[in-house]
Chain A
């Protein structure tokens, strides 16, 4: 089964590359660089030490913003999930902010935090914080009341109920929120860099696009795809932590 799935995946990939190569015969090179140009360039760019600061910056921004969003989202999510008053007061506000297209905040962040990494971290943080806190609240409030009641009947304290019942019971939902947060965090960093930055993969993409360096543009885009795949793999690992899988 595994091998068959893999074969089908290779088939579609091969089909796309062949289609890409043939269409680049028709379309001008400035709009569509053929794979035969892109792949050699890909290797030279990947092994060029000048690329590393960009990759490092992007990676750093992703890890830091995701770490901050996860830590604060979980902490505040548990607080709001546990205390009804806080939840009733602040959840509607969070939902309202979540509904705003986050990109509207970005000019303000650039203004306050400058063109360097801080504005990207803040932007990616905003994007990934909301799904994490909102699913944490949802996870905590959806815990079956009878599980909590049973624990109290066996003499559990509030603290014990929290870490022996509420935490594990809400884990599957929370982990799905964290993996959504991670995906949005990558989006935030790349989009932030593209819209204005000094270093990073997004900056490279934006400048290649402006300069019509189509082959470069494709190389960087493929790099982003690979990062996205890696991130996807990491979030799968997160979800495997869940007892429901």
Chain B
């Protein structure tokens, strides 16, 4: 069952570093605080250091440097107390395909020391909560991705943790399953559970998180509420696609007069309007004056991707491919750490 309350029921991290053998500094001195009952979104591309941070905060990987307290307990000195206060659904639902959902719940509740008479009731209650009562006796090998993720969440909640770590809980899920999981996470936060959620989906962080930390190459490059971060950037983006491909370069030149060019759609270009939304009409007039026929034109409000772009010089999507290799290296070392 959940441990006694520490002096701070949230998460406090100072100067956390993790260096893998012969590898990069996967986490390079991060500081953060997550208040009790808050949903904290940890946003970044693959390989940015999100999962490594979660492994350290859940006591599964010792930090190289720095300190962290989770639920008021030190992650290095008080590992068992931390584990009893937290629940975690780590990247890729780690389930046994040969066991049923109910058998998973039975195992999890027993290993957490929940008294025998309560185990079945707790398991049934959680399976119902995540909508798996009907499938409870089916082997997990036959579950869909969304069902596995929901079971993973139910298992993480078995011992009523006060802090929940969700490492990319919706990666690979269809939009329906993703929305269902979002609702469940929001409900948990409503019940007072602190949620530390890593994600590479901007809309997920935007929709769920009270505050967002943006991590890139092991460092937090921006932190705040989604609204505050977007307001900080403050500039909307116009993206356009020319009717004729041969006009692409001329269109870029015209857009460039109105602000900083950004990664645009395929065959098109985008500009972050230095003068705000009011410049849209001027952009249209300038394109028309140059005789450039436009197939598509769209105005975007600032997004977390714009925040990422501003802070790192790269778009979130573009950063993923570049950092994929680093992540694979770190993951391989974490798996083979024996």
Same complex origin of A and B: no
Which residues of B come within 8 Å of A, CB atoms?
none
Which residues of A come within 8 Å of B, CB atoms?
none
